[in-house]
Structure 1
Amino acid sequence: MSVADRLVLIAGATSPSGLAASRVLVSAGARVVAVGRDAAKLDELAEALRPAAGPGSLRTEVCDLTDEADVAELVARVHAADGPVDGILHLVGGWRGGGGLAGQTDEDYRFLERSLTALRHVTRAFDADLRASDAGRLAVVSSTSVARPLAGGANYAAVKAATEAWARAVAQGFAKDARDGGKPLAAASVVFRVTALSGLEDSLAQRFADLWASDAEAVNDTIVELTDPSL
Protein backbone atom coordinates (compact mmCIF):
# COMPACT_ATOMS: atom_id res chain seq x y z
CA MET A 1 0.00 0.00 0.00
CA SER A 2 0.95 3.63 -0.35
CA VAL A 3 -0.54 7.05 0.30
CA ALA A 4 -1.23 7.52 -3.42
CA ASP A 5 -4.89 8.33 -4.12
CA ARG A 6 -5.63 8.51 -0.38
CA LEU A 7 -7.65 11.44 0.93
CA VAL A 8 -5.60 13.02 3.72
CA LEU A 9 -6.65 15.92 5.92
CA ILE A 10 -3.97 18.12 7.47
CA ALA A 11 -5.31 19.88 10.54
CA GLY A 12 -3.37 23.08 11.18
CA ALA A 13 -1.77 23.16 7.74
CA THR A 14 -0.42 26.72 7.62
CA SER A 15 2.74 26.02 9.64
CA PRO A 16 6.11 25.08 8.09
CA SER A 17 5.29 21.47 8.99
CA GLY A 18 1.98 21.79 7.15
CA LEU A 19 3.76 23.05 4.05
CA ALA A 20 6.27 20.19 4.19
CA ALA A 21 3.53 17.59 4.71
CA SER A 22 1.44 19.00 1.88
CA ARG A 23 4.42 18.93 -0.48
CA VAL A 24 5.41 15.35 0.39
CA LEU A 25 1.85 14.02 0.24
CA VAL A 26 0.95 15.71 -3.05
CA SER A 27 4.24 14.52 -4.56
CA ALA A 28 3.33 10.98 -3.46
CA GLY A 29 -0.05 11.20 -5.17
CA ALA A 30 -2.32 11.87 -2.20
CA ARG A 31 -5.41 14.05 -2.33
CA VAL A 32 -4.79 16.60 0.38
CA VAL A 33 -7.27 18.80 2.19
CA ALA A 34 -5.30 21.49 4.05
CA VAL A 35 -7.28 22.99 6.91
CA GLY A 36 -6.56 26.19 8.82
CA ARG A 37 -8.21 29.22 10.39
CA ASP A 38 -6.56 31.86 8.20
CA ALA A 39 -7.74 31.99 4.57
CA ALA A 40 -4.83 34.21 3.52
CA LYS A 41 -2.26 31.79 4.91
CA LEU A 42 -4.01 28.88 3.22
CA ASP A 43 -3.81 30.79 -0.08
CA GLU A 44 -0.07 31.26 0.52
CA LEU A 45 0.27 27.52 1.14
CA ALA A 46 -1.50 26.66 -2.09
CA GLU A 47 0.61 29.17 -4.03
CA ALA A 48 3.85 27.82 -2.54
CA LEU A 49 2.99 24.33 -3.78
CA ARG A 50 2.13 25.28 -7.34
CA PRO A 51 5.71 25.15 -8.72
CA ALA A 52 6.19 21.68 -7.22
CA ALA A 53 2.81 20.18 -8.05
CA GLY A 54 2.85 16.40 -8.09
CA PRO A 55 0.52 13.60 -9.16
CA GLY A 56 -1.73 14.31 -6.20
CA SER A 57 -3.89 17.33 -5.49
CA LEU A 58 -4.43 19.95 -2.83
CA ARG A 59 -7.36 22.08 -1.86
CA THR A 60 -7.88 24.20 1.22
CA GLU A 61 -10.63 24.56 3.79
CA VAL A 62 -11.08 27.35 6.34
CA CYS A 63 -12.28 26.01 9.69
CA ASP A 64 -11.95 26.79 13.38
CA LEU A 65 -11.12 23.30 14.60
CA THR A 66 -11.77 24.30 18.20
CA ASP A 67 -15.43 24.92 17.29
CA GLU A 68 -17.39 21.66 17.23
CA ALA A 69 -20.13 23.03 14.99
CA ASP A 70 -17.57 24.40 12.54
CA VAL A 71 -15.90 20.99 12.38
CA ALA A 72 -19.25 19.31 11.68
CA GLU A 73 -19.73 21.66 8.74
CA LEU A 74 -16.19 20.87 7.56
CA VAL A 75 -16.99 17.15 7.55
CA ALA A 76 -20.07 17.77 5.40
CA ARG A 77 -18.07 19.86 2.90
CA VAL A 78 -15.23 17.32 2.68
CA HIS A 79 -17.62 14.42 2.18
CA ALA A 80 -19.53 16.30 -0.50
CA ALA A 81 -16.42 17.39 -2.40
CA ASP A 82 -13.98 14.54 -1.82
CA GLY A 83 -15.59 11.62 0.01
CA PRO A 84 -14.45 9.95 3.26
CA VAL A 85 -10.93 10.61 4.54
CA ASP A 86 -8.22 7.96 4.83
CA GLY A 87 -5.82 9.90 6.98
CA ILE A 88 -5.42 12.81 9.38
CA LEU A 89 -2.21 14.59 10.33
CA HIS A 90 -2.83 16.78 13.38
CA LEU A 91 -0.48 19.78 13.44
CA VAL A 92 -2.51 22.22 15.53
CA GLY A 93 -0.13 23.34 18.25
CA GLY A 94 2.10 26.07 19.60
CA TRP A 95 4.34 26.82 22.54
CA ARG A 96 4.03 28.96 25.62
CA GLY A 97 6.04 28.46 28.77
CA GLY A 98 8.82 29.57 31.06
CA GLY A 99 8.81 31.20 34.45
CA GLY A 100 8.92 28.01 36.48
CA LEU A 101 5.79 26.48 37.95
CA ALA A 102 4.53 29.86 39.15
CA GLY A 103 4.75 31.12 35.58
CA GLN A 104 2.34 28.51 34.22
CA THR A 105 -0.59 30.84 33.70
CA ASP A 106 -4.18 29.91 32.93
CA GLU A 107 -3.99 32.12 29.84
CA ASP A 108 -1.08 30.09 28.47
CA TYR A 109 -2.75 26.81 29.38
CA ARG A 110 -5.96 27.75 27.56
CA PHE A 111 -3.94 28.71 24.50
CA LEU A 112 -2.15 25.36 24.48
CA GLU A 113 -5.34 23.44 25.25
CA ARG A 114 -6.78 24.50 21.86
CA SER A 115 -4.63 21.84 20.21
CA LEU A 116 -6.20 19.09 22.31
CA THR A 117 -9.69 20.49 21.76
CA ALA A 118 -9.13 20.51 18.01
CA LEU A 119 -7.83 16.94 18.11
CA ARG A 120 -10.87 15.77 20.03
CA HIS A 121 -13.26 17.42 17.59
CA VAL A 122 -11.52 16.23 14.43
CA THR A 123 -10.98 12.63 15.50
CA ARG A 124 -14.53 12.21 16.73
CA ALA A 125 -15.96 13.77 13.57
CA PHE A 126 -13.90 11.63 11.18
CA ASP A 127 -13.70 8.46 13.30
CA ALA A 128 -16.18 6.56 11.13
CA ASP A 129 -14.20 7.46 8.01
CA LEU A 130 -10.93 6.14 9.40
CA ARG A 131 -12.55 2.94 10.63
CA ALA A 132 -14.22 2.32 7.27
CA SER A 133 -11.06 2.93 5.26
CA ASP A 134 -8.99 -0.07 4.23
CA ALA A 135 -5.96 1.88 5.51
CA GLY A 136 -6.97 4.65 7.88
CA ARG A 137 -4.13 6.55 9.54
CA LEU A 138 -4.04 9.19 12.29
CA ALA A 139 -0.84 10.86 13.46
CA VAL A 140 -0.34 13.47 16.17
CA VAL A 141 2.74 15.43 17.12
CA SER A 142 3.81 15.26 20.74
CA SER A 143 6.93 16.20 22.65
CA THR A 144 9.78 14.45 24.43
CA SER A 145 8.85 16.69 27.38
CA VAL A 146 6.06 14.21 28.15
CA ALA A 147 8.70 11.75 29.33
CA ARG A 148 10.68 14.42 31.17
CA PRO A 149 8.44 17.39 32.05
CA LEU A 150 10.03 20.55 33.38
CA ALA A 151 8.46 23.09 35.72
CA GLY A 152 8.80 25.85 33.14
CA GLY A 153 6.94 23.79 30.57
CA ALA A 154 4.38 22.10 32.80
CA ASN A 155 1.38 23.48 30.89
CA TYR A 156 2.84 22.34 27.58
CA ALA A 157 3.85 18.89 28.82
CA ALA A 158 0.45 18.35 30.42
CA VAL A 159 -1.39 19.15 27.18
CA LYS A 160 0.97 16.95 25.16
CA ALA A 161 0.49 14.09 27.62
CA ALA A 162 -3.27 14.44 27.21
CA THR A 163 -2.80 14.50 23.44
CA GLU A 164 -0.93 11.21 23.59
CA ALA A 165 -3.60 9.69 25.83
CA TRP A 166 -6.29 10.71 23.35
CA ALA A 167 -4.36 9.32 20.37
CA ARG A 168 -3.82 6.05 22.20
CA ALA A 169 -7.52 5.88 23.04
CA VAL A 170 -8.24 6.28 19.32
CA ALA A 171 -5.85 3.38 18.69
CA GLN A 172 -7.69 1.20 21.19
CA GLY A 173 -10.95 2.10 19.49
CA PHE A 174 -9.56 1.00 16.14
CA ALA A 175 -8.38 -2.30 17.61
CA LYS A 176 -11.69 -2.95 19.38
CA ASP A 177 -13.68 -2.19 16.24
CA ALA A 178 -11.62 -4.68 14.25
CA ARG A 179 -11.81 -7.31 16.98
CA ASP A 180 -15.56 -6.95 17.47
CA GLY A 181 -16.12 -7.09 13.73
CA GLY A 182 -13.91 -10.14 13.29
CA LYS A 183 -11.81 -8.36 10.68
CA PRO A 184 -8.12 -7.51 10.30
CA LEU A 185 -7.01 -4.23 11.81
CA ALA A 186 -6.85 -1.66 9.02
CA ALA A 187 -6.63 1.66 10.90
CA ALA A 188 -3.75 2.93 13.01
CA SER A 189 -3.12 5.84 15.37
CA VAL A 190 0.48 6.93 15.87
CA VAL A 191 2.25 9.47 18.09
CA PHE A 192 5.33 11.28 16.80
CA ARG A 193 7.47 12.72 19.59
CA VAL A 194 9.91 15.53 18.87
CA THR A 195 12.14 17.76 20.94
CA ALA A 196 11.34 20.58 18.54
CA LEU A 197 9.80 20.53 15.07
CA SER A 198 12.19 23.06 13.56
CA GLY A 199 14.43 21.17 11.16
CA LEU A 200 12.29 18.03 11.29
CA GLU A 201 9.43 19.16 9.06
CA ASP A 202 10.46 17.06 6.06
CA SER A 203 11.25 14.03 8.22
CA LEU A 204 7.86 14.22 9.92
CA ALA A 205 6.10 14.55 6.57
CA GLN A 206 7.87 11.54 5.09
CA ARG A 207 7.37 9.37 8.17
CA PHE A 208 3.65 10.18 8.08
CA ALA A 209 3.38 9.31 4.37
CA ASP A 210 5.28 6.08 5.02
CA LEU A 211 2.63 4.92 7.51
CA TRP A 212 0.64 3.61 4.54
CA ALA A 213 3.54 1.30 3.65
CA SER A 214 3.33 -0.33 7.09
CA ASP A 215 0.79 -2.84 8.33
CA ALA A 216 -1.72 -1.32 10.73
CA GLU A 217 -0.97 -3.98 13.34
CA ALA A 218 2.68 -2.93 13.35
CA VAL A 219 2.11 0.79 13.86
CA ASN A 220 -1.18 1.16 15.75
CA ASP A 221 -0.71 2.57 19.26
CA THR A 222 3.00 3.26 18.78
CA ILE A 223 5.13 6.21 19.86
CA VAL A 224 7.86 7.17 17.39
CA GLU A 225 10.63 9.55 18.44
CA LEU A 226 11.88 11.74 15.61
CA THR A 227 15.41 13.06 15.89
CA ASP A 228 17.45 15.45 13.78
CA PRO A 229 18.73 13.32 10.87
CA SER A 230 21.93 15.40 10.76
CA LEU A 231 22.95 14.21 14.24
Structure 2
Amino acid sequence: MTPSSDPHGGGDGGPLEGAVVAVAGAGGPAGHATLLRLAEAGAVVVAADADAERLALGVDAARFAHGGATVTGDTVDLLHLAAAREWAAKIEKEFGRVDGLVHLVGGWRGSATFAETDLADWELLHDLLVRTVQHTSLAFEGPLARSGNGRFVLVSAAGASKPTAGNAAYAAAKAAAEAWTLALADGFRKAVPDGPPAAAATVLIVKALVHEALRAQRPGARFAGFTDVTELATSICQLWSQPTEEVNGTRQWLTPQP
Protein backbone atom coordinates (compact mmCIF):
# COMPACT_ATOMS: atom_id res chain seq x y z
CA MET A 1 0.00 0.00 0.00
CA THR A 2 1.24 3.47 -0.81
CA PRO A 3 -0.07 6.78 0.54
CA SER A 4 -3.46 7.35 -0.97
CA SER A 5 -5.45 10.30 -2.20
CA ASP A 6 -8.62 8.54 -1.10
CA PRO A 7 -11.25 11.21 -0.50
CA HIS A 8 -12.24 9.46 2.74
CA GLY A 9 -8.89 10.37 4.29
CA GLY A 10 -8.56 13.48 6.37
CA GLY A 11 -4.94 13.21 7.40
CA ASP A 12 -1.61 14.70 6.40
CA GLY A 13 -0.62 12.46 3.50
CA GLY A 14 1.30 10.04 5.74
CA PRO A 15 1.41 6.26 5.51
CA LEU A 16 -2.07 5.88 7.00
CA GLU A 17 -3.75 8.30 4.59
CA GLY A 18 -6.57 6.29 3.00
CA ALA A 19 -5.47 3.04 4.67
CA VAL A 20 -8.29 0.74 5.78
CA VAL A 21 -7.78 -0.34 9.39
CA ALA A 22 -10.05 -2.61 11.42
CA VAL A 23 -10.09 -2.30 15.21
CA ALA A 24 -11.39 -5.25 17.23
CA GLY A 25 -12.52 -4.51 20.77
CA ALA A 26 -13.00 -0.84 19.95
CA GLY A 27 -15.58 -0.09 22.63
CA GLY A 28 -13.22 0.53 25.55
CA PRO A 29 -11.00 3.53 26.36
CA ALA A 30 -8.06 2.16 24.36
CA GLY A 31 -10.35 1.51 21.42
CA HIS A 32 -11.85 4.99 21.54
CA ALA A 33 -8.37 6.56 21.63
CA THR A 34 -7.20 4.40 18.73
CA LEU A 35 -10.22 5.27 16.59
CA LEU A 36 -9.53 8.97 17.18
CA ARG A 37 -5.83 8.68 16.31
CA LEU A 38 -6.40 6.57 13.20
CA ALA A 39 -9.07 8.98 11.95
CA GLU A 40 -6.74 11.90 12.59
CA ALA A 41 -4.05 10.16 10.52
CA GLY A 42 -6.47 9.85 7.59
CA ALA A 43 -7.31 6.16 7.81
CA VAL A 44 -10.64 4.62 6.94
CA VAL A 45 -11.52 3.03 10.26
CA VAL A 46 -13.80 0.01 10.70
CA ALA A 47 -14.46 -0.66 14.37
CA ALA A 48 -16.01 -3.71 16.02
CA ASP A 49 -17.12 -4.60 19.51
CA ALA A 50 -19.65 -6.92 21.12
CA ASP A 51 -21.11 -3.95 23.03
CA ALA A 52 -23.07 -1.87 20.53
CA GLU A 53 -23.54 1.10 22.88
CA ARG A 54 -19.87 1.49 23.78
CA LEU A 55 -18.90 0.98 20.15
CA ALA A 56 -21.27 3.73 18.98
CA LEU A 57 -19.81 6.18 21.50
CA GLY A 58 -16.30 5.66 20.14
CA VAL A 59 -17.33 5.78 16.48
CA ASP A 60 -19.37 8.94 16.97
CA ALA A 61 -16.55 10.66 18.89
CA ALA A 62 -14.02 9.90 16.14
CA ARG A 63 -16.38 11.11 13.43
CA PHE A 64 -17.12 14.30 15.34
CA ALA A 65 -13.46 15.04 16.06
CA HIS A 66 -12.38 14.48 12.45
CA GLY A 67 -15.23 15.55 10.22
CA GLY A 68 -13.79 14.27 6.94
CA ALA A 69 -12.96 10.82 8.23
CA THR A 70 -14.79 7.59 7.48
CA VAL A 71 -15.35 5.73 10.74
CA THR A 72 -17.85 2.88 10.84
CA GLY A 73 -18.86 0.36 13.47
CA ASP A 74 -19.99 -3.26 13.34
CA THR A 75 -21.28 -5.35 16.24
CA VAL A 76 -19.30 -8.56 15.79
CA ASP A 77 -19.03 -11.61 18.05
CA LEU A 78 -15.40 -12.55 17.56
CA LEU A 79 -15.86 -15.71 19.60
CA HIS A 80 -17.13 -17.23 16.35
CA LEU A 81 -14.66 -17.77 13.51
CA ALA A 82 -17.38 -17.50 10.89
CA ALA A 83 -18.34 -14.05 12.20
CA ALA A 84 -14.72 -12.90 12.07
CA ARG A 85 -14.33 -14.18 8.52
CA GLU A 86 -17.56 -12.48 7.45
CA TRP A 87 -16.38 -9.21 8.98
CA ALA A 88 -13.00 -9.36 7.20
CA ALA A 89 -14.64 -10.22 3.88
CA LYS A 90 -17.18 -7.43 4.26
CA ILE A 91 -14.45 -4.84 4.86
CA GLU A 92 -12.36 -5.98 1.91
CA LYS A 93 -15.37 -6.04 -0.39
CA GLU A 94 -16.60 -2.60 0.67
CA PHE A 95 -13.29 -0.75 0.75
CA GLY A 96 -11.18 -2.81 -1.64
CA ARG A 97 -8.50 -3.81 0.86
CA VAL A 98 -7.64 -4.22 4.52
CA ASP A 99 -4.39 -2.63 5.71
CA GLY A 100 -4.58 -3.36 9.41
CA LEU A 101 -6.22 -5.26 12.23
CA VAL A 102 -5.67 -3.86 15.71
CA HIS A 103 -6.65 -6.33 18.43
CA LEU A 104 -7.83 -4.58 21.60
CA VAL A 105 -10.22 -7.20 22.99
CA GLY A 106 -9.41 -7.33 26.70
CA GLY A 107 -10.43 -8.60 30.08
CA TRP A 108 -8.94 -9.46 33.45
CA ARG A 109 -9.54 -11.90 36.25
CA GLY A 110 -7.24 -12.68 39.16
CA SER A 111 -7.04 -14.12 42.67
CA ALA A 112 -5.34 -13.36 45.97
CA THR A 113 -3.11 -16.45 45.77
CA PHE A 114 -2.19 -19.15 43.28
CA ALA A 115 -4.15 -21.76 45.26
CA GLU A 116 -7.29 -19.64 44.97
CA THR A 117 -7.16 -19.51 41.17
CA ASP A 118 -10.60 -20.16 39.73
CA LEU A 119 -10.40 -22.13 36.50
CA ALA A 120 -13.63 -20.45 35.41
CA ASP A 121 -11.46 -17.33 35.07
CA TRP A 122 -9.23 -19.23 32.66
CA GLU A 123 -12.22 -20.25 30.56
CA LEU A 124 -13.36 -16.63 30.30
CA LEU A 125 -9.90 -15.23 29.59
CA HIS A 126 -9.12 -17.95 27.08
CA ASP A 127 -12.15 -16.85 25.08
CA LEU A 128 -11.51 -13.10 25.36
CA LEU A 129 -7.72 -13.02 25.04
CA VAL A 130 -6.84 -16.09 22.98
CA ARG A 131 -9.80 -17.22 20.92
CA THR A 132 -10.50 -13.72 19.55
CA VAL A 133 -6.84 -13.47 18.49
CA GLN A 134 -7.07 -16.84 16.78
CA HIS A 135 -10.24 -15.90 14.94
CA THR A 136 -9.15 -12.42 13.82
CA SER A 137 -5.72 -13.61 12.71
CA LEU A 138 -7.16 -16.47 10.66
CA ALA A 139 -9.78 -14.17 9.15
CA PHE A 140 -7.46 -11.27 8.32
CA GLU A 141 -4.23 -13.04 7.32
CA GLY A 142 -5.12 -13.13 3.62
CA PRO A 143 -6.50 -9.58 3.35
CA LEU A 144 -3.51 -8.15 5.23
CA ALA A 145 -1.04 -9.92 2.95
CA ARG A 146 -2.93 -8.72 -0.12
CA SER A 147 -2.64 -5.15 1.16
CA GLY A 148 1.12 -5.20 0.61
CA ASN A 149 1.75 -3.24 3.81
CA GLY A 150 -0.64 -4.83 6.30
CA ARG A 151 -0.30 -4.86 10.08
CA PHE A 152 -1.72 -7.23 12.69
CA VAL A 153 -1.26 -5.57 16.08
CA LEU A 154 -1.75 -7.33 19.41
CA VAL A 155 -1.67 -5.40 22.68
CA SER A 156 -0.29 -7.60 25.42
CA ALA A 157 0.79 -7.25 29.04
CA ALA A 158 4.14 -7.38 30.81
CA GLY A 159 2.68 -10.03 33.09
CA ALA A 160 2.92 -12.55 30.27
CA SER A 161 6.71 -12.42 30.61
CA LYS A 162 6.78 -12.41 34.43
CA PRO A 163 3.63 -14.07 35.79
CA THR A 164 2.59 -13.53 39.39
CA ALA A 165 0.86 -16.06 41.62
CA GLY A 166 -2.54 -14.40 41.52
CA ASN A 167 -2.49 -13.75 37.78
CA ALA A 168 -1.86 -17.24 36.47
CA ALA A 169 -4.87 -17.39 34.17
CA TYR A 170 -4.41 -13.87 32.82
CA ALA A 171 -0.66 -14.23 32.23
CA ALA A 172 -1.08 -17.61 30.57
CA ALA A 173 -3.76 -16.28 28.23
CA LYS A 174 -1.67 -13.27 27.27
CA ALA A 175 1.39 -15.48 26.68
CA ALA A 176 -0.67 -17.75 24.44
CA ALA A 177 -1.96 -14.77 22.46
CA GLU A 178 1.58 -13.52 21.98
CA ALA A 179 2.78 -16.93 20.77
CA TRP A 180 -0.12 -17.13 18.32
CA THR A 181 0.66 -13.66 16.96
CA LEU A 182 4.35 -14.48 16.51
CA ALA A 183 3.35 -17.65 14.64
CA LEU A 184 1.33 -15.44 12.30
CA ALA A 185 4.44 -13.29 11.85
CA ASP A 186 6.44 -16.37 10.89
CA GLY A 187 3.78 -17.19 8.33
CA PHE A 188 4.11 -13.73 6.81
CA ARG A 189 7.89 -14.16 6.70
CA LYS A 190 7.82 -17.59 5.08
CA ALA A 191 5.28 -16.50 2.46
CA VAL A 192 7.94 -14.22 0.90
CA PRO A 193 11.26 -16.02 1.54
CA ASP A 194 13.32 -13.82 -0.78
CA GLY A 195 12.09 -10.40 0.24
CA PRO A 196 10.31 -8.32 2.86
CA PRO A 197 7.02 -9.77 4.06
CA ALA A 198 3.84 -8.37 2.57
CA ALA A 199 2.44 -7.82 6.05
CA ALA A 200 3.69 -7.71 9.61
CA ALA A 201 2.39 -9.07 12.91
CA THR A 202 3.66 -7.49 16.10
CA VAL A 203 3.03 -7.32 19.84
CA LEU A 204 2.91 -4.08 21.82
CA ILE A 205 3.49 -4.70 25.53
CA VAL A 206 2.19 -2.54 28.37
CA LYS A 207 2.15 -2.96 32.13
CA ALA A 208 -1.42 -1.68 32.22
CA LEU A 209 -3.42 1.09 30.59
CA VAL A 210 -4.63 4.34 32.08
CA HIS A 211 -7.07 6.95 30.80
CA GLU A 212 -8.64 10.21 31.95
CA ALA A 213 -11.67 8.63 33.60
CA LEU A 214 -9.48 6.26 35.63
CA ARG A 215 -7.29 9.12 36.80
CA ALA A 216 -10.41 11.02 37.86
CA GLN A 217 -11.60 8.00 39.85
CA ARG A 218 -8.25 7.64 41.62
CA PRO A 219 -6.79 11.16 41.89
CA GLY A 220 -4.03 10.14 44.29
CA ALA A 221 -2.74 7.18 42.27
CA ARG A 222 0.63 7.40 40.50
CA PHE A 223 0.00 4.72 37.87
CA ALA A 224 3.75 4.07 37.66
CA GLY A 225 4.74 2.31 34.47
CA PHE A 226 1.22 2.50 33.03
CA THR A 227 0.71 3.52 29.40
CA ASP A 228 -1.85 6.19 28.62
CA VAL A 229 -4.33 5.06 25.98
CA THR A 230 -3.43 8.06 23.84
CA GLU A 231 0.23 7.00 23.87
CA LEU A 232 -0.77 3.47 22.94
CA ALA A 233 -2.83 4.80 20.03
CA THR A 234 0.12 6.84 18.77
CA SER A 235 2.42 3.81 19.00
CA ILE A 236 -0.08 1.75 17.02
CA CYS A 237 -0.27 4.34 14.24
CA GLN A 238 3.52 4.58 14.00
CA LEU A 239 3.78 0.92 12.99
CA TRP A 240 2.84 1.75 9.40
CA SER A 241 5.80 4.14 9.15
CA GLN A 242 8.29 1.29 9.56
CA PRO A 243 9.14 -1.34 6.93
CA THR A 244 7.33 -4.65 7.36
CA GLU A 245 10.58 -6.52 7.95
CA GLU A 246 11.39 -4.27 10.93
CA VAL A 247 7.94 -4.72 12.49
CA ASN A 248 7.18 -8.35 11.77
CA GLY A 249 7.71 -10.76 14.63
CA THR A 250 8.68 -8.12 17.17
CA ARG A 251 7.63 -7.60 20.79
CA GLN A 252 7.77 -3.85 21.43
CA TRP A 253 7.82 -2.66 25.04
CA LEU A 254 5.88 0.49 25.93
CA THR A 255 6.79 0.04 29.60
CA PRO A 256 10.11 -0.93 31.26
CA GLN A 257 10.88 -4.57 30.58
CA PRO A 258 10.83 -6.69 33.78
Q: TM-score, normalised by structure 1?
A: 0.93
C-alpha deviation, 1:132, in angstroms? 1.4
Aligned to 1:6: 19
From 68, 71, 74, the equivalent of 2:81 is 68
Q: Which has the higher contact order (CA 8 A, sep 6+)?
A: 1
Aligned to 1:190: 202
Whole-Å separation in 2 of the counterparts to 1:216 and 1:110: 34
Whole-Å separation in 2 of the counterparts to 1:66 and 1:164: 18
User: What do residues 28-59 of structure 1 show as CA deviations (whole Å, max 9, x unaligned)?
Assistant: 00010000112222222222223311543200
C-alpha deviation, 1:128, in angstroms? 0.6
Matched residue type, 2:24: A
The answer to whether the 8 Å contact 2:36/2:61 transfers is: no
Superposed, 1:192-231 pairs within 5 Å as 192-199=204-211, 200-227=228-255
Q: Structure 1 stretch 162-171 or stretch 219-228: which is displaced more?
A: 219-228
Which secondary structure does the structure 1 equivalent of 2:115 belong to?
A: helix
Distance 1:4 1:54, change over 3 A: farther
* Count of residue pairs the alignment pairs up: 226
| Pair 1:153-2:150 in alignment | no
Aligned to 1:112: 125
Q: TM-score, normalised by structure 2?
A: 0.83
Structure having the higher helix fraction is 1
The answer to whether the 8 Å contact 2:35/2:59 transfers is: no
The answer to whether the 8 Å contact 1:168/1:221 transfers is: yes
Q: Percent identity over the alignment?
A: 38
Which secondary structure does the structure 2 equivalent of 1:102 belong to?
A: coil
| Pair 1:30-2:43 in alignment | yes
Structure 1 gaps, min length 5: none
Structure 2 gaps, min length 5: 4-14, 212-227
Matched residue type, 1:201: V
Whole-Å separation in 2 of the counterparts to 1:20 and 1:194: 15
Aligned to 1:132: 146
| Pair 1:93-2:93 in alignment | no
